[in-house]
Amino acid sequence: MNKADFLDKVRSSLHRKASDIVAPAPNLLATIKDFKPSSLVKQFQEEYEAVGGNFHLVKSKKEASEKVLEIIKDSKAKSFVFSNDKLIKSIVAKIAIPEAKIISDADIGISSAYCLIANTGTLVLESSVGRLASLLPASHIAVVKDEQLVPTMAEAIEGLDSLPSAWVQATGPSRTADIELTLTIGVHAPGVVDVIMIK
């Protein structure tokens, strides 16, 4: 079916003409009232930990690099993949860890985030820095700054003039409950997730 016929079918089902005026869409009656704007860091931490994420608050980029190293040591990971941006480049430059030759072989992915949503403990990841570092490895470490926090998704999308090809809101580790609704962590995407927040 071509586009014109398809739209015509829809239009005739609605008994409308193409020229008919469209009533304005309803306005948001309510905001999502489950955030505490007074302490976004604390709320993010609570929510993030509640879904099984590990949260670390540090004071500087240097401390952030050290934290990365600490997590890596504990995990016995050998190869890594990084998102393509300045912050992560400077963080990993300090600790010299090997980049995997084949991305899908990497044990841990380290990336930045576009912003963080406090009321759900969510990282917003976007495609311009690459999608795979936060997706393919079994572990993901995100290095972020506290000023990137917003209360809810509404503020995250406010004032955006265009969307990246992929905007991903990640909340905690990959999980499934497809077998008897039993929660199981780490199916296709990272099962271990850490956020290192520079304050």
Partner 1 sequence: MEISTHDFKNNAKKALKDKNLQIAMKRATKTFVAKREKAISSLDNFEELRSYCGAVKAHTIEHLDYYLEEFISNLENLGVNVHFAADGEEANKIVTQLALEKNVKTVVKAKSMVTEEILLNDALEAVGVEALETDLGEYILQLDGDFPSHIIGPAMHKTKEQITKLFHEKLGSKEDASIIELTAVARKVLRKGFLKADMGISGANFAVAETGSIVLVENEGNIRLTTSLPKIHLTVMGLEKIIPRLKDLPAFLTILPRSATGQKASSYVSLITGPKKETDPDGPEEQHVLIIDNGRSNILADPKLRDALRCIRCGACLNICPVYQNVGGHAYGWVYPGPIGSVLDPGLLGLDSTHQLPQACSLCGACGEVCPVKIPLPELLLEHRQRAVKQGLSAKAEKIGIGAFAFMATHPKLWNSATKIGRLGSQFLSREGHIKGSKIPVMKEWLKERDFKTPAQKSFREQWRNLKDEK
List the interface residues with partner 1, window 141-180 (CB under 8 A).
Answer: 152-154, 157-158, 160, 162-180
Is 173:142 a contact under the CB 8 Å cutoff? no
Torsion of CA 75, 78, 82, 87, to 10 degrees: 60
Nearer CB in complex with partner 1: 54/127:
127
Task: Compute the distance between CA of residue 124 and CA of residue 114 in angstroms, rounded to an integer.
Answer: 5
* Minimum CB distance to partner 1, residue 66 (Å): 27
- CB of 3 vs partner 1, minimal distance in Å: 6
| Residue 25 in contact with partner 1, rule: CB under 8 A | yes
Which residue type occupies 184? Answer: T
CB of 198 to partner 1, least distance (A): 24
Q: Which tokens sit at 84?
A: 């393509």
Of 11 and 42, which has the nearer Cβ to partner 1?
11
- Alpha carbon distance 57, 63 (integer Å): 9
96 touches partner 1 (CB under 8 A): no
Q: Which of 13, 38, 86, 98 binds partner 1 (CB under 8 A)?
A: 13
Question: For partner 1, which residue of 61, 94, 131, 145 counts as binding (CB under 8 A)?
Answer: 131
Binding-residue pattern over the window 32 to 51 for partner 1, x denoting contact by CB under 8 A: xxx------------x---x
Q: Which is nearer to partner 1, 36 or 199 (CB)?
A: 36
Nearer to partner 1, 14 or 96 (CB): 14
Chain-centroid distance of CA 125 in Å reads 4
Distance separating alpha carbons of residues 100 and 106, to the nearest angstrom: 5
Q: For 142, left (φ over 0), alpha (ψ -120 to 50), or beta?
A: beta
DSSP secondary structure string for all residues of 24-62:
PPPPP--------GGGHHHHHHHHHHHTT-EEEEESSHH
In this chain, which of 87, 135, 192, 198 binds partner 1, going by CB under 8 A? 135
- 104 in contact with partner 1 (CB under 8 A): yes
Quote the CA–CA distance of 153 and 173 in Å, as a whole number.
19
Residue 91 CB-density burial (10 A; 0-12 exposed, 13-18 middle, 19+ buried): buried
Q: According to the binding rule CB under 8 A, does residue 186 interact with partner 1?
A: yes
Asked if 101 is part of the footprint of partner 1 (rule: CB under 8 A), the reply reads no
> Residue 10 interacts with partner 1 (CB under 8 A)?
yes
